[in-house]
Amino acid sequence: MKGRILLALLAAVGACRDASAPSTATGSVPDGLIVVSGDRQGLDSGATPSPLVVQLWNKGKPVAGAVVHWEVTRGGATISDSITVTDGSGTAAVTVTPGSAGFGQGVEAGVAGVPPVDFSLTLRRPFQVLGGGNNVAERYTSDLWLAKGYGYTGTWGFRSAAGNVIKVWQLGGGGAPALVGADTIAGVNTVSDLQVSPDSTLLVATGESGPGAGLYVYGLTDPAHPALLAQWSIASATQGLHTGTLAEIGGQLYAFTARDPSAPSLLTFRVQPDSLAKIVLVDSIAMPANYGIHDTFVRDGLLFVENWNSGMWIYDVGGGGLGGSPGHAVFIGSVVTQGGEVHNAWWFHDPVTNEKRYVFIGQEGPDVIGVSSAGDIHVVDVSDLSAPVEVAHFHLGTTEGPHNFWMDEQRQVLYAAYYNGGVVALDVSGTLSGDLGSREIAEIQPGGSGDTYVWGVMLYGGSLYATDMVSGLWQLTVP
């Protein structure tokens, strides 16, 4: 008891001595509290974290006797002390025991009068294959969507048969996919994108590479047998629609689609299968031929357009407060992320922090199907939609690059399809900055090395489903 009182008195003296804010640094270390070690740790199961160590500097010299306050900010970790005092070298440390409230563990250290510092630790837990796999040998598999106990996958290019088919899968009791049917789209060589409407009544697909290229709408009254209700043809043998994203805005269903070069443009359709005009083009916006529009993400009346080397463009289509609508999109802002090649995006709504701060962007570099890929994940802060700024990135390897994303927002996990890199799970809790290499939770190549080239992922029924271009549809556990 006496020892603790003495410590507290010393701490108080130290705090008084250093009550003023640090002046401009005269040495190589800036004044203030810095992280010495322990930040950005990835922890396998059972691993003991390294201590979290800070050091306080003032006028180029370490400060001894300063009180450091420690606080767990996320993940439910426990720390050895909530208050420590810097030693003769200005250093203070705590040990941390990870909690079970999330893959991301956060601890903040602060000294009165100076900005605090954050420590981020990520728990690594593995994926496992549950079912599926090696179930589409004759075609390359493309996109996927799951709904009503069924899965729908697209096909791409020509393998030993044309990629003109939507495959229908029934999910068994444990969620394992079993092929139950296939719908052929005449006149296309790629079914590039799929999505089921929010009310699960419609399946919408985009087709490319052939006279049948365009938009296709199917009814899912019988989900095992999608029934073609309407189609919109782009009337070009060499162009098509590369992607399509569905969104309900103002009580109407819209499809925001990416038209291929040589006239790249955002084509917005109102989809109303119960009407005489089932697919109505409501807007067409030309995009820079750099190379052109690749994908879109729509949420809360905001449209995020992935415009390759022209970056990500943000529009108000009904939710941005600028009078925009699906038929009259209003431009808000844009950003070109490092390296360009902006392929896809996901706007993260964090239910834990109630922040809508980050957009995750996938960069698709040069790739050889089945062998190699390139690119990074870029994180953009959209706190100011008119001036988004890149704040962080994730790099897996020099020959692996990302493709499509899905998120478990409640658990603050980003799932990224990573082509030959398989599937990667990232902890995206807390503040994101710089290199997120330590944020990797798990990685898996479902088909094994040489037989993995994952196109897309989707969380459904507690499992993560992945479409692999060379090895079909897989069911994975989530970490």
Partner 1 sequence: MAQAIGIVTTAGPMPHDATVTEARLVQPAVSVGLGALSGHLQFRGTLDLEGWTMPGGELTPGAYGEGYIDRRHPHTYAHELMLTAHDVLGRLGGPAHLSAAFGKGFVAFGSDDPMSRPVALYPIDHHLAQILEREVAIAGLAAGPAALEVSWFNGDEPEYPSEWPNGRRFGDSYALRGSVAPVRGVEAQVSYAEVKSPEHRDGAGPPQEKWSASVRVDRTFGGRPAYALAEYARTSEASGAFLFHSLVLEGAVQAGPVHPYLRLERTERPEEARTGDVFRTPRPPLDNSLLGITRWSVATAGASVTALTAGPRFSVRPFLEASVADVRAISGTFDVRAWYGSNTILSLSLGVRLDWGMAGHRMGRYGTGIAAGGDGMEMPMMEGP
Residues of this chain that bind partner 1 (CB under 8 A) = 140, 156-160, 187-190, 208-211, 237-238, 242, 260-262, 288-292, 294, 308-309, 341, 343, 364-372, 374, 453, 470
Least CB distance to partner 1 at residue 72 (A): 43
CA-CA distance, 167 to 184, in Å (whole number)? 9
In this complex, which beta carbon is closest to partner 1, that of residue 164 or of residue 429?
Answer: 164
In this complex, which beta carbon is closest to partner 1, that of residue 209 or of residue 268?
Answer: 209
In this complex, which beta carbon is closest to partner 1, that of residue 41 or of residue 153?
Answer: 153
Cα distance between the two ends of the chain = 45
In this complex, which beta carbon is closest to partner 1, that of residue 380 or of residue 470?
Answer: 470
Least CB distance to partner 1 at residue 75 (A): 38
Three-state DSSP at 180 gives strand
Least CB distance to partner 1 at residue 185 (A): 12
In this complex, which beta carbon is closest to partner 1, that of residue 167 or of residue 294?
Answer: 294
- Minimal CA–CA distance to 439: which of 479, 466, 404? 479
Q: Contact, 74 vs 101, CB < 8 A?
A: yes
Helical (H) or strand (E) element with 257? strand 252-259
- Minimal CA–CA distance to 244: which of 300, 181, 202? 202
Least CB distance to partner 1 at residue 294 (A): 7
Residues 6+ apart with CB under 8 A from 9: none
- Minimal CA–CA distance to 192: which of 147, 233, 143, 262? 143
- Minimal CA–CA distance to 245: which of 275, 229, 267, 226? 267
Report residue 447 as tokens: 């088909």
Least CB distance to partner 1 at residue 372 (A): 8
Least CB distance to partner 1 at residue 108 (A): 41
Least CB distance to partner 1 at residue 282 (A): 25
Residues 6+ apart with CB under 8 A from 17: 65
Least CB distance to partner 1 at residue 231 (A): 16
CA–CA distance from 475 to each of 130, 150, 177, 241 (Å)?
5, 13, 7, 28
CA-CA distance, 124 to 441, in Å (whole number)? 4
CA-CA distance, 468 to 223, in Å (whole number)? 23
In this complex, which beta carbon is closest to partner 1, that of residue 42 or of residue 214?
Answer: 214
| Burial (CB count <10 Å: 0-12, 13-18, 19+), residue 276 | exposed
- Minimal CA–CA distance to 66: which of 17, 110, 14, 31? 14
In this complex, which beta carbon is closest to partner 1, that of residue 41 or of residue 155?
Answer: 155
Report residue 129 as tokens: 């294959």
In this complex, which beta carbon is closest to partner 1, that of residue 241 or of residue 359?
Answer: 241
In this complex, which beta carbon is closest to partner 1, that of residue 140 or of residue 474?
Answer: 140
Least CB distance to partner 1 at residue 364 (A): 6
CA-CA distance, 197 to 219, in Å (whole number)? 10
